Amino acid sequence: MDMVLALLLLVAVWAVPLTVLVVPPIVLVDALHRSLAAVGLWLVAVALVVGWVRALLVDMDRVDATGDQGSWLAGVEWLLAAVVAATASVVVARRRGAVPFGTLTR
Protein backbone atom coordinates (compact mmCIF):
# COMPACT_ATOMS: atom_id res chain seq x y z
CA MET A 1 0.00 0.00 0.00
CA ASP A 2 2.85 2.38 0.80
CA MET A 3 4.38 1.76 -2.60
CA VAL A 4 1.11 2.55 -4.38
CA LEU A 5 0.71 5.76 -2.37
CA ALA A 6 4.28 6.77 -3.14
CA LEU A 7 3.74 6.11 -6.85
CA LEU A 8 0.52 8.14 -6.89
CA LEU A 9 2.27 10.98 -5.08
CA LEU A 10 5.14 10.90 -7.56
CA VAL A 11 2.76 11.02 -10.52
CA ALA A 12 0.79 13.88 -8.94
CA VAL A 13 3.92 15.90 -8.16
CA TRP A 14 5.11 15.69 -11.77
CA ALA A 15 1.65 15.88 -13.38
CA VAL A 16 0.96 19.31 -11.88
CA PRO A 17 3.97 21.06 -13.48
CA LEU A 18 3.32 19.36 -16.80
CA THR A 19 -0.29 20.54 -16.68
CA VAL A 20 0.89 24.08 -15.86
CA LEU A 21 3.22 24.02 -18.86
CA VAL A 22 0.84 22.39 -21.38
CA VAL A 23 -2.75 23.51 -20.73
CA PRO A 24 -2.41 27.32 -21.08
CA PRO A 25 -0.73 27.12 -24.53
CA ILE A 26 -3.52 24.84 -25.72
CA VAL A 27 -6.07 27.42 -24.60
CA LEU A 28 -3.99 30.25 -26.07
CA VAL A 29 -3.87 28.61 -29.51
CA ASP A 30 -7.33 30.00 -30.16
CA ALA A 31 -6.43 33.30 -31.85
CA LEU A 32 -9.68 34.96 -30.79
CA HIS A 33 -8.87 34.61 -27.12
CA ARG A 34 -5.12 35.22 -27.05
CA SER A 35 -4.18 38.26 -25.05
CA LEU A 36 -0.89 39.75 -23.98
CA ALA A 37 -1.88 39.37 -20.32
CA ALA A 38 -2.65 35.66 -20.77
CA VAL A 39 0.66 35.01 -22.52
CA GLY A 40 2.50 36.99 -19.84
CA LEU A 41 0.84 35.04 -17.04
CA TRP A 42 1.76 31.76 -18.72
CA LEU A 43 5.39 32.88 -19.03
CA VAL A 44 5.34 33.73 -15.31
CA ALA A 45 3.98 30.23 -14.62
CA VAL A 46 6.82 28.70 -16.67
CA ALA A 47 9.38 30.74 -14.72
CA LEU A 48 7.81 29.59 -11.44
CA VAL A 49 7.99 25.93 -12.52
CA VAL A 50 11.68 26.48 -13.28
CA GLY A 51 12.04 27.98 -9.79
CA TRP A 52 10.36 24.91 -8.31
CA VAL A 53 12.73 22.54 -10.12
CA ARG A 54 15.66 24.65 -8.93
CA ALA A 55 14.40 24.49 -5.33
CA LEU A 56 14.17 20.69 -5.61
CA LEU A 57 17.71 20.50 -6.95
CA VAL A 58 19.02 22.73 -4.16
CA ASP A 59 17.29 20.48 -1.61
CA MET A 60 18.84 17.39 -3.21
CA ASP A 61 22.29 19.00 -3.10
CA ARG A 62 21.76 19.81 0.58
CA VAL A 63 20.76 16.20 1.25
CA ASP A 64 23.86 14.94 -0.55
CA ALA A 65 26.14 17.31 1.33
CA THR A 66 24.72 16.74 4.82
CA GLY A 67 23.39 13.20 4.61
CA ASP A 68 20.14 14.54 6.00
CA GLN A 69 16.70 13.50 4.79
CA GLY A 70 15.14 15.44 1.93
CA SER A 71 11.60 16.70 1.53
CA TRP A 72 9.28 16.23 -1.41
CA LEU A 73 7.68 19.52 -0.33
CA ALA A 74 10.86 21.47 -1.07
CA GLY A 75 9.86 24.49 -3.10
CA VAL A 76 6.15 23.64 -3.12
CA GLU A 77 5.34 27.35 -2.81
CA TRP A 78 6.89 27.86 -6.24
CA LEU A 79 4.66 25.15 -7.67
CA LEU A 80 1.53 26.56 -6.05
CA ALA A 81 2.33 30.01 -7.41
CA ALA A 82 2.82 28.46 -10.88
CA VAL A 83 -0.61 26.81 -10.65
CA VAL A 84 -2.18 30.15 -9.71
CA ALA A 85 -0.45 31.95 -12.60
CA ALA A 86 -1.40 29.25 -15.12
CA THR A 87 -5.00 29.27 -13.93
CA ALA A 88 -5.11 33.06 -14.21
CA SER A 89 -3.68 32.77 -17.72
CA VAL A 90 -6.47 30.41 -18.78
CA VAL A 91 -9.14 32.59 -17.14
CA VAL A 92 -7.83 35.74 -18.81
CA ALA A 93 -7.59 33.98 -22.18
CA ARG A 94 -11.13 32.62 -21.97
CA ARG A 95 -12.91 35.77 -20.79
CA ARG A 96 -15.09 37.62 -23.23
CA GLY A 97 -13.78 40.81 -24.77
CA ALA A 98 -10.11 39.99 -24.34
CA VAL A 99 -7.91 42.14 -26.52
CA PRO A 100 -6.34 39.88 -29.18
CA PHE A 101 -2.61 39.30 -28.88
CA GLY A 102 -0.57 41.73 -30.93
CA THR A 103 -3.11 44.55 -30.99
CA LEU A 104 -3.13 47.64 -28.84
CA THR A 105 -6.82 48.52 -29.27
CA ARG A 106 -10.01 46.56 -29.26
Long-range contacts of 95-99 (CB under 8 A, 24+ apart): 98/33, 98/34, 98/35, 98/37, 98/38, 99/35, 99/36
Question: In angstroms, rounded to a whole number, what is the distance separating the alpha carbons of residues 30 and 71?
Answer: 39
Question: Where residue 33 falls among pLDDT bands split at 50, 70, 90?
Answer: low
Q: Which has the closest alpha carbon to 89: 22, 16, 15?
A: 22
Percent of the chain exceeding pLDDT 70 equals: 83
Kindly report which listed range (60-69, 74-83, 94-103) carries the lowest average pLDDT score: 94-103
Annotated domain spans of the chain: 14-94
pLDDT computed for residue 14 by the predictor = 80
This model's pTM is above 0.85: no
pLDDT of 37-67, one tens digit each? Answer: 888 999 999 999 999 889 888 888 888 778 7
Kindly report which listed range (66-70, 71-75, 76-80) carries the lowest average pLDDT score: 71-75
Q: Which residues contact 48 (CB under 8 A, 6 or more apart)?
A: 78, 79, 81, 82, 85
Question: In angstroms, rounded to a whole number, what is the distance separating the alpha carbons of residues 83 and 78?
Answer: 9
